[in-house]
Amino acid sequence: MPFTFSIYDFTGFTQWVDATLRGACSPFWATLWEMVIVGVLFLAFYAVVGLYLVYAERKVCAFIQNRVGPNRVGPYGFFQTIADLIKLLMKEIISIKQADKLLFNLAPFIVIVTSFLALAAIPFAKGLHPIDLNIGVFYVMAISSMGVVGILLAGWSSNSKYSLLGAMRSGAQIISYELSVGMSLIAICVLAGSMQLSVIVEQQRDLWFIFKGHFPAITAFIIYMIAATAETNRGPFDLAEAESELAAGFHTEYSGIKFAFFFLAEYMNMFIVASLAATIFWGGWMPLHIPGLESFNHVMDFIPPVLWYIGKTAVIILIMMWFKWTFPRLRIDQLLNLEWKFLLPISLVNILIMAFIVLMGWYIGL
């Protein structure tokens, strides 16, 4: 198969890699090498994106608070997070007395592996989709919800009241807000008629669902942003890590690389929920098309799909960072009341309205 590469469609390139490996070795070893290549690329992507998001949040926080932020290590402090990572890797891993050793050591791996598994189903660009499941939305929701198991294990096994309180808060918060996240995604799945992420992206070729689905789609997006911010334990919903009350929350007793796992997983979970929002509501790697404006649509088509995906995800991440550094932290009763008394009922009614609009054919589309 001849070598082909295009920033507008990676399908030819991935097929060429597959054909080259299968021509050089048996199908078993070709599949194994493909898994190794994808795994290495994911590890590199995970590390780079995680480190950059830490740097980006410190800069966004500094801008909102009228500060400079990191500005010493490298140009504009760009290598500060790399220096912080090296420091964490060199720190001593402290052994906690009377802690459950097995669960204490297992918890950070559960948290980081679940974020890896969820990332595998995200379509990054045309032809650049690690695994395209026909239940992609359900898969991401199911896998991402398993991260709370690692958090609960970390809090319980640390033999610390601060860690246990933080873990219980996090468990109650994540399990509660998962409902609104799921309901918001279900509303768009009703509009799309599918849970396969590639199909959902393809159906937004003419217009993104945030516009095509009228008011229910906008409502679902707003609820998703609020609930996803809470599910990732980010401010103003960061009660599980409230420094003024619980030191560092469920990971208080962790140090060194184990603490780095929790820290990195938090930012990657933010990236995953932002990527899912960009894919479900904003068309993923699809360019912005407006029906009737063909000249505008042709100009938008010149922008590579991977840049559309990165740009949309970056905007949603910026919104989540803006939330954290703008609004004050909620009390635990306010946090749970917001979900059970407001977001969940609105989500249920919103699904019914979306189903009625789809049934009547009132959505915008070809």
Helix, strand or coil for residue 137?
helix
The pLDDT of residue 126: 85
| pLDDT in the model for residue 366 | 41
Alpha-carbon distance of 149 to 172, in angstroms, equals 12
The pLDDT score that the predictor gives to residue 242 is: 66
b/e code 162-182 from CB counts within 10 Å (16+ = b): bbbbbbbbbbbbbebbbbbbb
* 312/7: higher pLDDT: 312
Place of tokens 């050793």: 101
Of 12-21, 52-61, 227-236, 243-252, the range with the lowest mean pLDDT is 243-252
Q: Higher-confidence residue: 252 or 138?
A: 138
Average pLDDT in the chain: 87
pLDDT tens, position by position, 190-206: 999 899 999 999 999 88
Mean pLDDT computed over 208-218: 90
**pLDDT at 13 > cutoff 80:** yes
In angstroms, rounded to a whole number, what is the distance separating the alpha carbons of residues 77 and 176?
Answer: 38
**Has residue 365 got a pLDDT over 60?**
no
Angle, to 10 degrees, between the axis of helix 256-280 and the axis of helix 27-64? 90
Residue 333 — very low, low, confident or very high, per pLDDT cuts 50/70/90? Answer: confident
C-alpha to C-alpha distance for 149 and 322, rounded to whole angstroms: 28
Mean pLDDT within 113-124: 90
Q: Write down the pLDDT at residue 244.
A: 62
* DSSP states of 202-221: HTTSSS-HHHHTHHHHHHHH
Whether 316 and 278 have beta carbons less than 8 Å apart is answered as yes
Percent of the chain past pLDDT 90, that is, above it, reads: 31
pLDDT band at 53 (very low <50, low <70, confident <90, very high): very high
Q: What is the pLDDT of residue 12?
A: 84
Give mean pLDDT, residues 320-339.
Answer: 88
Residue 33 has pLDDT above 50, yes or no: yes
Supply φ then ψ for residue 125, to 5 degrees: -165, 175
User: What would the two tokens of residue 125 be?
Assistant: 């660009």
Mean pLDDT of 171-187: 91
Question: What integer is the mean pLDDT of 154-158?
Answer: 87
What pLDDT is stored for residue 1 in this prediction? 62
pLDDT digits (tens, 9 = 90+) for 55-111: 999 999 999 999 988 888 888 888 998 898 888 888 877 777 788 888 888 998 999
pLDDT at 351 over 90: yes
